[in-house]
Amino acid sequence: MKSAQKFLSKLPEAPGVYFFKGPRGRVLYVGKATSLRDRVRSYFSADIVHTRSPLILKMLGEFVKVDFTQTDSVLEALILEANLIRKLNPPYNSKEKDNKSFNYVIFTKEDFPKIVVARGRSVSSIFPKDLIKFMFGPFPHGTQLKEAMRIIRKIFPFSDQKCVPSGVQIKNQKKEKQGRLPRACFNYQIGLCPGVCVDAVTKKEYGEIIKNLRLFFEGKKKAVLRNLEKQMRGFAREKKFEKAGEVKKTIFALNHIQDIALLKHSTADKNDMSSFGGKVASGMENFNDTIAPDKSFRIEAYDVAHLNGTNVVGVMTVVEDGELAKSQYRKFKIKINPGINDIAALKEILRRRLEHLQWTLPNLIVLDGAQAQINAAQGVLKERGFNIDLVSVVKDEHHKAREILGEKRFIEKHSRAILLANAESHRFAIGFHRKLRRKIR
């Protein structure tokens, strides 16, 4: 096999995309890497015959050169790889490109476009051609794409299939519910949807988000940054300093993409393992300790639900390591008869929860409400001899978080997990209450 030293010496220990080229510069194969040097080196290991597919071994017998494009992040490498596979159609990627199980990112053709991830085999059945505005892919690495979309959505909040536009909600309202405010989707409550569901964003404003998101998927991050900087200057000139500040935060997020979670998934994705032989970059396993700021931090969130003081219920939801721990959720049928008194119900829930010493105690408790809820919970904790920190999420008329009350050090470090836990407790409480009412009928 050809000596790899002269190729490897030119490759940086940085994320990017690499190209195996044949005679006359034809691209034979495209791959992405968290470390270009380590990934390409893995193709020349002693156990190559056992770790690579026959197709890749055949390619290694034909290539004459390795080139690369370095990217600022693993996320951008993932997107660039998909774009290049589609554009260049490398012969040794053709099997991947034709695989109907691979994923595509769809931008729908609507006034407020939705962003949807769909498998190749189901795209045509779910979306008629006239409903697709843009389509990006194929993305061979499903787990990594899922993680990538989570990162991207924090930078560019977008609407998905679960978000019903406010106009559609109003149009479909039954007579007895006419005049009610549109209902916010779950993702709006945790900052991942700009508010298409509650008229919190105009068509023009949302169009700007979609435009920048499309450019990002096209690999044109510099163009996105130029657009955002222009937007920020415009808002500043108009003295709209709050909006200018929001754009500034987006610019910072784009320039400091935190995609460590993608590195974690790069070792576990089955498609990635079959395509690249499962080689793990040196030290990759240590990244599991720094995936998110919420690592090893348990949050419990509580909420109460009732209908005019009847069938009062409460719930506890849990976020661990920044992720929902649904197996640890708990439901409480309120035994006292508090009527329309959420404070009394909350006290009962906390007292009953603290009786279960076998349950892991939280680092932080999240409440739904204001200072009154914090005061009530502090009273119960003191009464039972526990010292657990508390925060409370204050909502606006659309039930979106307006403010978080409590210790700033927790809010600054764990705001995403706090809002996630709070929104999930609201969803879980409403679901439990509706189920109970149906049973009683």
Q: Give me the percent of the chain exceeding a pLDDT of 90.
A: 36
Q: What string of H, E and C letters represents the secondary structure of 308-346?
A: CCEEEEEEEEEEECCEECHHHCEEEECCCCCCCCHHHHH
Average pLDDT over residues 37-61: 78
* pLDDT attached to residue 348: 93
How far CA 131 is from CA of 112, 116, 165, in Å, comes to 12, 12, 16
Q: Give me the percent of the chain exceeding a pLDDT of 70.
A: 83
Confidence of residue 205 (pLDDT cuts 50, 70, 90): very high
Average pLDDT over residues 292-309: 76
Contact 194, 228 (CB under 8 A): no
* pLDDT attached to residue 300: 96
Residue with tokens 């925060």: 391
- The β-bridge partners of 393 are 368, 404
- Alpha-carbon Rg of the chain, whole angstroms? 25
Structural domains in the chain plus CATH codes = 1-70 (3.40.1440.10), 103-170+181-275 (no CATH), 298-440 (3.30.420.340)
* pLDDT attached to residue 125: 73
**pLDDT score of 176 more than 70:** no
Beta-carbon-side half-sphere exposure of residue 98 (alpha carbons within 13 Å): 7
**pLDDT score of 437 more than 80:** no
Confidence of residue 3 (pLDDT cuts 50, 70, 90): low
- The β-bridge partners of 314 are 304, 332
User: 325 Cβ partners below 8 Å, 6+ apart?
Assistant: 318, 319
* pLDDT attached to residue 441: 62
3-state class of 244 per DSSP?
helix
**pLDDT score of 181 more than 80:** no
The model's pLDDT over 409-428, given as tens digits with 9 standing for 90+, comes to 888 888 888 999 998 999 89
Confidence of residue 185 (pLDDT cuts 50, 70, 90): confident
Confidence of residue 280 (pLDDT cuts 50, 70, 90): very low
Cis peptide leading into residue 138 (ω within 30°): yes
Angle at 423 between CA 422 and CA 425, to 5 degrees: 65
**pLDDT score of 294 more than 80:** no
Average pLDDT, the chain: 82
* pLDDT attached to residue 61: 86
* pLDDT attached to residue 4: 57
- Rounded to 10 degrees, what is the CA torsion of 269, 271, 272, 273? 90
Nearest C-alpha neighbor of 134 from the set 156, 158, 115: 115
The model's pLDDT over 84-112, given as tens digits with 9 standing for 90+, comes to 988 888 988 866 555 566 888 999 999 99
Confidence of residue 268 (pLDDT cuts 50, 70, 90): very low
Residue 101: phi, psi to the nearest 5?
Answer: -85, -10
178-201 exposure pattern, b = at least 16 Cβ within 10 A, e = fewer: eeeebebbbbbbbbbbbbbbbebb
The model's pLDDT over 132-155, given as tens digits with 9 standing for 90+, comes to 999 998 888 788 888 889 889 989
Beta-carbon-side half-sphere exposure of residue 275 (alpha carbons within 13 Å): 24
**pLDDT score of 342 more than 80:** yes
**Total-model pTM:** 0.61
* pLDDT attached to residue 408: 86
Contact 264, 288 (CB under 8 A): yes
* pLDDT attached to residue 283: 28
